[in-house]
Amino acid sequence: MTGAEDTIDHEAFEAQCRAGIESWIAEHLGGEVVAMERLERWRPQWKVSYTSGGETGAVLVRGNRPIAPVDALRFEMACMQILERNGILVPHIHGWMDEPVAFVMDWVETEDRAPGMLHTAMDTPSEMDPERWQATLGYMTHLAAVHAVPVSEFADVKQLANPPSEPRDIALHAVDRMYAMGEMAGNIDPSLSFLQMWLRRNAPTDRHDVRFLCGDAGQFMSRGTDVVALLDFEIANVGDTHWDLACFRGRHPYENMGDIPALYREYERVTGTPIDRRVVGYYTVAFLQLAVIGATFFMMPEIRGGNWIEGMLEKASITRRAYEAIAELHGLDLDHDLTLPDPTPDSLEASGLRKLIADIGRLPTSSAFADWERDLLGAIPDFLLNYTRYRSWFEMVTRTDIETFLGESFNDLTAADAALQARIDTDDPADDDELVRLMHRRMLRLSMITAGTNPDETNPFFYVLEPVIDREPGG
């Protein structure tokens, strides 16, 4: 990082962004900005209201993720423009702006939707009312239309110009790319390493059809029972449609998607194509692993913005759910009946963390440092305070699990993890079931520490991944 970034005047930076937006609106839309609100999201985004020629309008200024290259934002814009040309219901793109780096699209006025983050889902569980459910069923028709757009339409988009053709490449190209990025950043641990080994060894070998994919399907805006806009194509890709179908399982119930098997039956009705539930299971693991690796980038402390606590929550819970997806495919029972011990007494470290929590809560807020940003910052020492109270227990039981599996002793968890990684690298399928159980226990314990409670079926953070294999209609 540069010194300039470390010493940035955030108020001045926000003012510069707002001035750039006002200038762009005036030049490209002939409008005068009357209101501007920075939204609670992973990335900088503003809802901008303006007047032009006596008419009022609103746009969304979608900025770049702090960890992503500008090309990633241009990629998303290009995909949306191609989808719009092919009749897909996406917000109209008005153009690109350089200050701030963003693209501008129509604002879709609809009911308030949660920001789609775990820390909000834990406090305010997502609900599915009857109208939203009808819209979600209707979304499957729109998803089928997305999948029907010819891949050749995206030939001029560099990232999609050379689609894979062999079944193994179709299954793995997205996760292999994200895994390589995680390795370069030093974000891969044994839990993610095993998932990658498993995905490579279990890739479907008989699926040749390649379609354009949303990448993170299930994100749309509705008004009443109507779908009014499809959103979020930043990880759009080409591949097997079962990837997009797996996204519903991955997002649910943090974002309530309703009856997942019913959605699959609707997609089958619309497309006339049967869904292979085991292939959905495979892509559930793939989608969740990719999501966790992506979330680890938001924990990188040097990055301006980001969301460290959301990354931690996703690492604990989504990794756990990836292992639950494998367990369903393997027919394994997992142990969810774990309990936290009594916490260790607060230490000097805990005292310092409590001081941080108190003082962060007193920080003044502004347009450059909103209330929700202060809450996210305060959640970091709050998590660490909990972690200090259970760290010794967590490291001891995790090390013991590894020692039991490997049949040898270690002085600390670092040494045990190194030996576990060496065993994972042998890629022996005979180890799979025990490694799934071991890793699941580890991530469930980390989830318990993160939430500060034993597994609780009423807490969305602990919801077990819903099965989809061999489930009867309506069951």
Asked, as a colleague might, if the bond just before 345 is cis with ω within 30 of 0, I would say: no
Q: Check residue 253 and give its pLDDT.
A: 81
Domain closes at, from 67, 86, 106: 106
Whole-angstrom Cα distance, residue 423 to residue 200? Answer: 16
Rounded to an integer, what is the distance from CA 72 to the centroid of its chain?
A: 16
Both 173 and 98 in one domain: the answer is no
Both 171 and 43 in one domain: the answer is no
Q: Check residue 288 and give its pLDDT.
A: 97
Both 66 and 183 in one domain: the answer is no
State the DSSP code for 453.
Answer: S
Q: Across-strand partners of 204?
A: none
Q: What's the one-letter identity of residue 102?
A: A
Q: Check residue 459 and give its pLDDT.
A: 85
Positions of the chain with pLDDT lower than 50, given as ranges = 1-5, 115, 471-475
Q: Check residue 121 and give its pLDDT.
A: 55
Q: Check residue 3 and give its pLDDT.
A: 41
Q: Which long-range contacts (CB under 8 A, 24 or more apart) does 351-354 make?
A: 353/381, 353/382, 353/384, 353/385, 353/388, 354/381, 354/385
Residue 468 belongs to a domain: no
Residue 88 belongs to a domain: yes
Both 289 and 419 in one domain: the answer is yes
Residues 395 and 412: beta-carbon distance below 8 Å: yes
Both 176 and 320 in one domain: the answer is yes
Both 326 and 303 in one domain: the answer is yes
Whole-angstrom Cα distance, residue 279 to residue 469? Answer: 10
Both 382 and 251 in one domain: the answer is yes
CATH number of 77's domain: 3.30.200
In this structure, the number of other CB atoms found within 10 A of the CB of residue 222 comes to 21
Residue 377 belongs to a domain: yes
Token digits for 34? 């009357």
Both 299 and 151 in one domain: the answer is yes
pTM, 2 dp: 0.92
Across the beta sheet with 32-38, the strand order is: 32-38, 45-52, 55-63, 101-106, 93-98
Residue 20 belongs to a domain: yes
Both 335 and 262 in one domain: the answer is yes
Residue 335 belongs to a domain: yes
Residue 8 belongs to a domain: no
Whole-angstrom Cα distance, residue 34 to residue 154? Answer: 37
Residue 365 belongs to a domain: yes
Both 163 and 230 in one domain: the answer is yes
Show the domain range for 80.
Answer: 14-106
Residue 474 belongs to a domain: no
Both 138 and 242 in one domain: the answer is yes
3-state helix, strand, coil in the chain (%, to 5): 55, 10, 35
Domain closes at, from 57, 73, 106: 106
Q: Check residue 14 and give its pLDDT.
A: 84
Residues 149 and 218: beta-carbon distance below 8 Å: no
Q: Tally the residues of the chain.
A: 475
User: How many domains, in total, are found in the chain?
Assistant: 2
Question: Tokens 């061999």 — which residue?
Answer: 470
Of the candidates 187, 401, 212, 204, which has an alpha carbon nearest to the alpha carbon of residue 285? 204
